[in-house]
Amino acid sequence: MKYGILKETNYDFEEAIEKLNKELQKEGFGILMRIDLDEKFKAKLGIDFKHYTILGACNPKNAHKAILAEENVGLFLPCNVIVYEKGEKTVVAAIKPTIAMSSTENDAVYEIAKEIEESLKRAINSL
């Protein structure tokens, strides 16, 4: 996937989220929110759907640096990381911050985005 970081794992859904949280913490990220779309689809639309969760991950140090470089960069925060079931596998993916933040056309923001992207890659690829 050109625009994202993606890893298929053999972990079950909740185990993948738990392990992802630990790996993100090692990289300085915290989870600000969790949206379980399958539950929202069931509650609001009456639709049964596979497990599909969006986690809002934030590295406060890098978020602070990015906002100092470009106040409106908050539009791209937090970093969304998705976890979903795909057959017998669980997929973990995140958009590449360099792709998302390139539209700022701010070199300082792009350099910070590269740091964030490397951290996300390490966390996701360690699963």
- How far apart, in whole angstroms, are the C-alpha atoms of residue 10 and residue 19? 12
Q: Is the pLDDT of residue 1 over 90?
A: no
The first and second tokens of residue 70, run together, are 């470009």
Q: What is the pLDDT of residue 57?
A: 98
What tens digit of pLDDT does each residue of 82-119 get? Answer: 999 999 999 999 999 999 999 999 999 999 999 999 99
Cis peptide before 78, with omega less than 30 degrees from 0? yes
Q: Is 90 exposed, middle or buried (0-12, 13-18, 19+ CB in 10 A)?
A: buried
- How far apart, in whole angstroms, are the C-alpha atoms of residue 116 and residue 28? 10
Q: What is the pLDDT of residue 109?
A: 96
What tens digit of pLDDT does each residue of 27-67 get? Answer: 999 999 999 999 999 999 999 999 999 999 999 999 999 99
pLDDT above 90: percentage of residues in the chain: 98
Neighbours of 26 (CB within 10 A): 12
Q: What is the pLDDT of residue 126?
A: 97
- How far apart, in whole angstroms, are the C-alpha atoms of residue 100 and residue 103? 7
Q: Is the pLDDT of residue 120 over 90?
A: yes
Q: What is the pLDDT of residue 91?
A: 99
What tens digit of pLDDT does each residue of 61-77 get? Answer: 999 999 999 999 999 99
Q: Which CATH superfamily is domain 4-125 in?
A: TT1751-like domain (3.30.310.70)
